Amino acid sequence: MSNSSLTRADYTGGKSTLCTGCGHDQITQNIISAFFELGIDPYDVIKTSGIGCSSKLPGYFMSKSQGINSMHGRMAPIATGAHVANTNLIYIGISGDGDSASIGLGGFAHLIRRNVKMIYIVANNGVYGLTKGQFSPTADKKSILKSGRRNFYEGIDICSFALEMGCDFVARTGSSNTKLTVNILKQAIQHAGTAIIDIVSPCITFNNHEGSTKSYDYLKEQSLPLVEVIHSLPAYDAKDKRLAVRLLAEAKEKEKILTGLIYRNENTEPFHQYTNLTATPLRELNEQQLRPSITDLQKLIQSFT
């Protein structure tokens, strides 16, 4: 799978059409770095997305990898079906906060519950960019829109939610934190089940003002690296789920963005394993393997007479 003869250029894609300064473009670069540094063959990678600014990303990296830019909120089930059909490929999905936490929350929750092996990025900017800046459900309570409108609803915390749904790989980072993001992505690529990465990725056009809790400034000032929180907990290795839940809750109380690999269970059992699915891509199974014999049919018919 690893191919050392590839250069970084082999991991690039089309030109971005996002706004200049968009956090999402940083995510693209981080993805390119992670796959390049691991030397993964782009032919082994499948890119998936939903609809929204985030979901344009599969067009901007690894153009030799096949991809599916699906429907709004439907990346999770589309990726689930795709993965089951061929478990030998690496699936990376880029969704947004509206795509995953609003219209697609059901599918998002159940993909995690099933533990479908994939890297699932939520490019999280707290607003709907393509429709010009309405609040998304990850917007923090009392954060303010550019127009001055205030959000009265509880914000959905992607990481806490993922933990609650039983996710065995939960991480958060900021799009501008290249080092951490690439590091987490590399670990996520090697994770055996669903890996959820919440990447706070500022929307330069609609959510980068004062009063926003997803702006570049807020991200810079209020980020709380996990390593700083846990320096008093020397044994912390992201394996303690209760502690992870507690740390997330505490960070939320303090209105901080907790970043790092928050929880990981290396003994995770993904969907294709516990359902005992064949490793052969389903499309390669032939008539011989799929069609019961004429004798079987005759016996079946007998049972209906």
Partner 1 sequence: MSVSVNNFSIKIATVNGSGSQTSNQILLKSLFRTGIPVGAKNIFPSNIQGMPTWYYLRASEAGYTGLQLKADITVALNDQTLIDDHQNAQAGSVFIFDSKSKNTFAASRDDLFYISVPFYELAGQASEQVKYKKYLVNSVYVGVVSELLRLPSNLVEETLTEFFLKNENVLRQNRNAFSLGVKFVREKLSDIQLPIKIVPTQKNSNQMLIDGNTAAALGMLYGGATFASWYPITPSTSLMESFEKFCQKYRVSDDGKNNFSVIQAEDELSSICMTLGAGWNGARSFTATSGPGLSLMHEAAGYAYYAEIPCVIWNVQRAGPSTGMPTRSAQGDISAAYYSSHGDTHFPLLLPGHPEECFEFAQLALDIAEGLQTLVYVLSDLDIGMNIWRTNQFRFSDQRFNRGKVLTSENLEQMALQGQRYQRYFSAESDGVAARALPGTRHPDAAYLTRGSGHNIKGVYTEKENEYIEVVDRLEKKWQQSVLVLPEPVIQDQGFDVGIVCYGSAAEILLETIQLLAEKNIHCDYLRIRSLPFHSKVKEYIQRKKMVYVLDLNQSSQVFDLLKVHYPEYWQRFNSVKHYSGIPMQAIELANRIAESENKNKGADNE
Minimum Å distance from CB 65 to partner 1? 6
Binding segment for partner 1 (CB under 8 A), chosen from 105-113, 157-165, 196-204, 232-240, is 105-113
DSSP code at position 137: T
Binding segment for partner 1 (CB under 8 A), chosen from 37-45, 118-126, 137-145, 200-208, is 37-45
Quote the CA–CA distance of 65 and 177 in Å, as a whole number: 25
Position 16 contacts partner 1 (CB under 8 A): no
Position 129 contacts partner 1 (CB under 8 A): no
Quote the CA–CA distance of 39 and 282 in Å, as a whole number: 27
Q: What is the DSSP string of 202-234?
A: --TTTS-STT-SSSHHHHHHHEEEHHHHGGG-T
Q: What b-and-e string marks burial along 209-234, b requiring 16 or more CB atoms within 10 Å of the CB? A: eeebbbbbebbeebbbbbeebbeeee
Minimum Å distance from CB 185 to partner 1? 20
Helical (H) or strand (E) element with 119: strand 118-124
Quote the CA–CA distance of 34 and 179 in Å, as a whole number: 10
Minimum Å distance from CB 196 to partner 1? 17
- CB–CB of 95/75 below 8 Å? yes
Show the CA angle centred on residue 146, arms to residues 143 and 152, nearest 5°.
Answer: 30
Residue 104 CA to its chain's centroid (Å): 13
Among 31, 109, 180, 184, which residue sits at the site for partner 1 (rule: CB under 8 A)? 109
Give, rounded to a whole angstrom, the gap between the first and last alpha carbons of the chain: 53
Position 85 contacts partner 1 (CB under 8 A): yes
Minimum Å distance from CB 181 to partner 1? 23
Minimum Å distance from CB 255 to partner 1? 32
Position 280 contacts partner 1 (CB under 8 A): yes
Quote the CA–CA distance of 64 and 243 in Å, as a whole number: 41
Binding segment for partner 1 (CB under 8 A), chosen from 121-129, 136-144, 169-177, 273-281, is 273-281
Binding segment for partner 1 (CB under 8 A), chosen from 78-86, 189-197, 226-234, 248-256, is 78-86
Position 44 contacts partner 1 (CB under 8 A): yes
Q: 199: how many CB neighbours lie within 10 A of its CB?
A: 29
Binding segment for partner 1 (CB under 8 A), chosen from 108-116, 144-152, 212-220, 248-256, is 108-116
Quote the CA–CA distance of 26 and 19 in Å, as a whole number: 12
Q: Report the residue number, 23 or 73, with the smaller CB distance to partner 1.
A: 73
Position 80 contacts partner 1 (CB under 8 A): yes
Position 68 contacts partner 1 (CB under 8 A): yes
Q: Report the residue number, 235 or 290, with the smaller CB distance to partner 1.
A: 290
Minimum Å distance from CB 284 to partner 1? 8
Quote the CA–CA distance of 163 and 161 in Å, as a whole number: 5
Site for partner 1 in 140-159 (CB under 8 A): none
Q: Report the residue number, 44 or 240, with the smaller CB distance to partner 1.
A: 44
Sites of contact with partner 1 (CB under 8 A):
42-44, 46-47, 58-59, 63-71, 73-74, 76-86, 88-89, 106-107, 109-110, 114, 275-283, 285, 287, 289-292, 294, 296-297, 300-301, 304-305
